[in-house]
């Protein structure tokens, strides 16, 4: 588990650095207005990703984790066909509403099915626990795209060619990776299981529609109701917080997969023990942001984006609860609480969209910040209340021991060899007590931090 978490953390950290390098060149060679326009175009792509059925990413992870990777093929076909609707909407927007940027909308409409419709490779690799291959794939592909973007912005300049080569390179990589996985998967089709998974993915689609809109509509509103320069400042302000959120989520992704493979009873019991460590991880993440964010924005974007620093510090506050929320979601999605997830996600995203529409015209960037941070705090409290109202399972008391044959009446023994491994860390967290053996210091310190001592 530790090895997998380190791989995912290293991958996300590398991607974060690659992203910052790209942003450095964009900030240096594009004006604030041009950078804002670049962000606006990709915001349209993100909002319309609902037509790529991105909820099927979760379904592919679930299917692969449960030893049915064959669903990758079915999901890819469905997502590609539905993404054609996104291309049609982009053409309509370009021809009738954004005529001054018609060429840009036509461009992204052409590439949209290949850019967003066949990008399930990462989900397949994560669900199959092929974290090494996942790491190599995403890092190499991002380096290729980054080099192409940098060459485009330095030598060609202009938004059109930057968008063209970004979309082209990403689409080619998606096509190659998709066909590679197609040839690897030889599993027979299970019609009954396929129908169940398709139904499951469609069930997640409705909340994901509003989620996709809520995650990027603020960019479109800022671009329309303010101007692209204000949009550029907001984009810079949220960049580093979003990268660190992604880093934290990726680092605990193996634990999410681990919970998905366990029974509902085991997952809930373990989650009870993880709440405090996850909050501590979130606080650590925020402290990292406080240190690197002011320096990072100045180094990458220069003085013209210095206004974004304070906005960014406030936008970073949700990082504290990101690890906790990520594991809540894994339990909700993978252990039969889809109805709760659907209702809460749908309601939260609708409220956020409404808040954006109401607050952004009056408060601009602060309207976005109030909406995002306030809702994250509220949703976290709702999740905690919901979690502690779940049925209390009768779980056998456990004791951590370094003796293989220890038998204590009324306790289930967890054998522990003292090594610092992912499995052993989970045992330390979940154990109700430890015996009088001489456990390593890291075990005792962990127990003190968890407020359980011996």
Ranges in the chain, pLDDT < 70: 1-9, 207, 253-254, 257-258, 260-262, 333-336, 338, 391-396, 404-406, 408-410, 420-424, 426, 430, 436-437, 448-454
Label residues 215-251 b or e (16+ Cβ within 10 Å = b).
Answer: bbbbbbbbbeebebbbbbbbbbbbbbbbbbbbbbbbb
Q: CB of 40 within 8 A of CB of 220?
A: yes
CB atoms near residue 122 (< 10 Å): 16
Cα distance between residue 235 and residue 403, in whole Å: 55
Cα distance between residue 454 and residue 450, in whole Å: 11
Beta strands in 71-122 (DSSP E): none
Query: What's the pLDDT at 420?
Result: 67
Do the bridges between strand 412-415 and strand 433-434 make them parallel or antiparallel, or are there none, so unpaired?
unpaired
Q: Residue 66: phi, psi to the nearest 5?
A: -100, 25
Q: CB of 19 within 8 A of CB of 292?
A: no
Which tokens go with 374? 């306030």
Q: Residue 294: phi, psi to the nearest 5?
A: -60, -40
Percent of residues, the chain, with pLDDT higher than 70: 86
Identify the three-state secondary structure at position 398: strand
Q: CB of 223 within 8 A of CB of 93?
A: no
Query: How big is the CA angle at 107 (ends 103 and 113), to the nearest 5 degrees?
Result: 150
Give every CB contact of residue 45 below 8 A, 6+ residues apart in sequence: 108, 112, 115, 116
Bridge partners of 395? none
Q: CB of 289 within 8 A of CB of 241?
A: yes
Query: What's the pLDDT at 196?
Result: 83
Query: What's the pLDDT at 448?
Result: 67
Delimit the domains of the chain by residue range: 2-388, 398-449
Cα distance between residue 193 and residue 200, in whole Å: 10
Cα distance between residue 123 and residue 56, in whole Å: 9
């Amino acid at each position: 588990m530790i090895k997998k978490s380190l791989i995912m953390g290293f991958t996300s950290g590398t991607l974060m650095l690659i992203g910052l390098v790209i942003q450095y060149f964009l900030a240096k060679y594009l004006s604030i207005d041009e950078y804002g326009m670049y962000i606006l175009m990709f915001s349209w792509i993100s909002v319309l990703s609902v037509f790529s059925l991105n909820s099927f990413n979760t379904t592919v992870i679930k299917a692969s984790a449960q030893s049915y990777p064959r669903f990758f093929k079915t999901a890819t076909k469905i997502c590609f066909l539905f993404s054609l609707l996104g291309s049609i909407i982009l053409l309509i927007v370009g021809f009738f509403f954004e005529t001054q940027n018609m060429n840009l909308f036509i461009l992204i409409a052409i590439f949209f099915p290949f850019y967003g419709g066949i990008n399930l490779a990462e989900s397949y690799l994560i669900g199959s626990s092929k974290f090494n291959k996942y790491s190599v794939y995403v890092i190499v592909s991002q380096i290729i795209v980054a080099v192409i973007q940098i060459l485009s912005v330095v030598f060609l300049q202009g938004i059109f060619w930057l968008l063209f080569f970004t979309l082209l390179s990403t689409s080619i990589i998606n096509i190659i990776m998709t066909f590679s996985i197609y040839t690897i998967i030889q599993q027979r089709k299970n019609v009954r299981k396929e129908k169940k998974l398709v139904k499951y993915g469609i069930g997640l689609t409705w909340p994901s529609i509003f989620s996709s809109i809520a995650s990027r509509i603020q960019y479109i509103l800022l671009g329309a109701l303010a101007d692209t320069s204000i949009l550029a400042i907001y984009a810079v302000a949220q960049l580093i917080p979003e990268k660190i959120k992604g880093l934290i989520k990726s680092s605990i992704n193996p634990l999410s997969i681990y919970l998905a493979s366990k029974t509902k009873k085991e997952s809930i019991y373990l989650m009870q023990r993880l709440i405090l460590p996850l909050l501590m991880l979130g606080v650590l993440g925020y402290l990292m942001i406080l240190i690197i964010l002011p320096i990072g924005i100045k180094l990458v974007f220069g003085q013209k984006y210095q206004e974004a620093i304070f906005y960014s510090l406030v936008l970073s506050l949700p990082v504290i609860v990101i690890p906790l929320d990520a594991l809540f979601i894994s339990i909700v999605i993978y252990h039969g609480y889809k109805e709760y997830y659907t209702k809460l996600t749908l309601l939260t995203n609708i409220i956020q969209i409404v808040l954006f529409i109401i607050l952004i015209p009056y408060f601009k960037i602060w309207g976005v910040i109030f909406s995002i941070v306030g809702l994250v705090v509220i949703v976290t409290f709702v999740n905690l209340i919901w979690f502690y109202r779940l049925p209390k399972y009768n779980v056998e008391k456990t004791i951590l021991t370094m003796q293989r044959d220890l038998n204590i009446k009324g306790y289930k023994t967890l054998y522990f060899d003292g090594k610092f491994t992912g499995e052993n860390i989970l045992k330390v967290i979940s154990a109700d007590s430890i015996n009088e053996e001489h456990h390593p210091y890291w075990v005792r310190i962990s127990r003190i931090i968890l407020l359980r001592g011996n």
